Structure 1
Amino acid sequence: MNRRPVLAALASLAVAPLSLPVLAQSYPSKPVRVVVPFAPGGTTDIIARILSERMGAALGQTVVVENKAGGGGIVGAAELVKAPADGHVLGMATVSTVASNPAINPRTPYNPLSDFTPIINLAATPNVIAVHPSFPARDYRTFLEVLKKSPGRYSYASSGTGGIGHLQMELYKNLAGVFVTHIPYRGAGPALNDTVAGQVPIIFDNLPSALPFIREGRLIPIVVAAPERLAVLPNVPTFKEVGLEPVNRMAFYGFVGPKGLSREVVDKVSAAARRTLEDASVRKRIEDTGSLIVANTPEQFAAQIRSEFEVYRQVVEKQKLTLE
């Protein structure tokens, strides 16, 4: 019997398992890009930048945020799908990119349940309907009366067609029996700018990006999507309080990688993010925006994405929503 092939095979088997930890230890070997699928200034951008500033120390490499806006988050998410699955390009996943947009847009160029590798849900945030100070309402009851008296007269801004702001506001319109024209933007930042400037009278936005303008009196909060009334907005009711519980859903912001990302890389990114979120100053900055820290496991985040997508798929079907 020729023992050389057998010995060679055994040697290869012995070496193969040892290579995996070496690969994990060498990651990251260069700066890590985090693709934010919206314009600067929105909540997704805020959360990503707070994390990236400190997470580089935990990873041992610089973490750079890159904004790739367009299509209600589709453009940036689609770029991540095409990236090498080596962990050097990560993305910020939101309800818009992995649930509401794919649920309403049959042309979404990726499958939110199979084309990404969930890593960690970083934070969740309330959503808010807010109006420009010139709008003839300061509370929800009056807001609803104004919209019902003048169907089609007013418009609202969102971060983009198919995004969570669009879909939740459309759900609100259907359930409340009002008609407001949708004005989509390439991210929450531009939508906020035009609403604060009075170009659009209403906005459906994530609270963290809208809150600074609310505190300055440049936007008036009307109703929020949150589990209960918020300490920062104690006089503003939730959608559940006004009888619209299906609209009472929060947004989330988490790290995902391209499909096929190794478990070793997933665990390293997840651990670095968790370590960063344990920093009191980081937690405070995130919580000061009105967000809640989540920091769940990859499995929990994957289940959350599946659940949220199914909720919005049913919303689109039951409310007969289509792209404008």
Structure 2
Amino acid sequence: MKKQFKTLLAAAAVVAAPLLISPAASAADYPSRPVKFVVPWPPGDLEDLLTRLIAEEMTNETGKPATVVNKPGGGGIIGAADVANTPPNGLTIGSFVVDIVSTYVAAGNAPYDKDTFEPVGIFLDYPFVIATKSDAPYNNLKELAEYSKTHDVSLGHFGYQALPTALTFKAAMQEGIKFKSDAPFDSIDCSTLATGDADIINTTTQTILACLKSGEVKVIASITNERIGLAPDVPTLAEQTGIKQTLWNGLFVKKGTPAEIKARIAEVAKAALEGPRAAEIAKTTGAGIYWTDGAAAEQRVADDFEASKELLKFMK
């Protein structure tokens, strides 16, 4: 009986051996299986395009398939929850906008907490803009404020829990802009203004690129660190109001993912984002594309989490 028991223990040890491999050892072979990048939005916008470049680079560099899975819903929470429920092995990577790890958590609207994820790196400043039809009789927020005192102005946005919406409401309160009405939209593009569904829209340049280039729509403020190339004469939100928070996107993994794995993901992402295709996206859309990792990325996440608490009062 003792001999049989020892045999069973030996067999169990062989089966369990792969589970006892140290994180450092598994990191050396990363990725051992296919990698999934989760984009919690529909295909087509900037975070999706750039994440696909990173996934392609991962496939080419490692020889293991890397795919992008779009999981929209809940303002990004459904996709984020998918990443939150995976092991910390770097095989599922979230491509998250700042809201997902800041305002949603601070508001108590997320099924995870601020320590669920760790940033691999931040790579995109969205060219979020406040825009209107080109024939509108105002060209900046101060002029819009004056106009709104005697005219009805409606705002179209991506939802009351979205960070750009909160920043717009904060700017409106600060500058004295009176919105007669506002409404959330699943999609905001050229037709939102053309049909009169809204007089002012809060969206990315990617969604209104055609009408910006045709001259049908103009930007009156950009929610970016620098003025965008598509409207270089238009001051940023920070220049016009002093509100400095912007919209960014980054790669995140489950907390506890080995540092060596995060470093490998960062190496691949940086290579993809320094390539000519990313440069062309930046040129045509005005997006700020770069790579920030390590302590700098962690500090930016922490700073924006604290800043998001103050913005909650502007979220209905």
Shared fold (TM-score greater than 0.5)?
yes
Answer yes or no: is the 8 Å Cα contact 1:138–1:220 preserved in 2. Answer: no
> In structure 1, the residue corresponding to 2:301 is in which secondary structure?
helix
**Residues 109 and 137 (structure 1 numbering): CA distance in 2 closer, same or farther, change over 3 Å?**
farther
> In structure 1, the residue corresponding to 2:43 is in which secondary structure?
coil
Relative to structure 2, which stretch is displaced further, 252-261 or 190-199?
Answer: 190-199
Answer yes or no: is the 8 Å Cα contact 2:222–2:235 preserved in 1. Answer: yes
Q: Distance in 2 between matches of 1:60 and 1:211?
A: 35
> In structure 2, the residue corresponding to 1:137 is in which secondary structure?
coil
Q: Distance in 1 between matches of 2:61 and 2:234?
A: 39
Q: Which runs of 5+ in 2 are unaligned?
A: 1-17
1:12-91 equivalence runs, <5 A: 19-91=22-94
Aligned residues: 296
> In structure 2, the residue corresponding to 1:139 is in which secondary structure?
coil
**Residues 47 and 18 (structure 1 numbering): CA distance in 2 closer, same or farther, change over 3 Å?**
closer
Q: Distance in 1 between matches of 2:42 and 2:90?
A: 23
Shift of 1:223: 1.3
Answer yes or no: is the 8 Å Cα contact 2:127–2:285 preserved in 1. Answer: no
Asked if 1:145 corresponds to 2:141, the answer is: no
1:45 is matched by which residue type in structure 2?
Answer: D
Q: Which runs of 5+ in 1 are unaligned?
A: 1-14
Alignment counterpart, residue 265 of structure 1, candidates 258, 261, 265: 261
RMSD of Structure 2 on Structure 1 (CA): 2.7
Alignment counterpart, residue 291 of structure 1, candidates 280, 287, 292: 287
**Residues 239 and 16 (structure 1 numbering): CA distance in 2 closer, same or farther, change over 3 Å?**
closer
**Residues 70 and 133 (structure 1 numbering): CA distance in 2 closer, same or farther, change over 3 Å?**
farther
2:113 equivalent in structure 1: 111
2:274 equivalent in structure 1: 278
Q: Distance in 2 between matches of 1:249 and 1:211?
A: 23
**Residues 196 and 64 (structure 1 numbering): CA distance in 2 closer, same or farther, change over 3 Å?**
farther
Answer yes or no: is the 8 Å Cα contact 1:91–1:255 preserved in 2. Answer: yes
Shift of 1:122: 1.3
Answer yes or no: is the 8 Å Cα contact 2:128–2:203 preserved in 1. Answer: yes
Shift of 1:81: 0.9
Asked if 1:176 corresponds to 2:184, the answer is: no
Q: Deviations over 1:105-128 (max 9, x none)?
A: 32322223x010210111223421
1:246-265 equivalence runs, <5 A: 246=243, 248-265=244-261
> In structure 2, the residue corresponding to 1:122 is in which secondary structure?
strand
Answer yes or no: is the 8 Å Cα contact 2:278–2:289 preserved in 1. Answer: no
> In structure 2, the residue corresponding to 1:149 is in which secondary structure?
coil
Alignment counterpart, residue 304 of structure 1, candidates 284, 297, 300: 300
Q: Distance in 2 between matches of 1:165 and 1:52?
A: 27
Answer yes or no: is the 8 Å Cα contact 1:36–1:65 preserved in 2. Answer: yes
> In structure 1, the residue corresponding to 2:110 is in which secondary structure?
coil
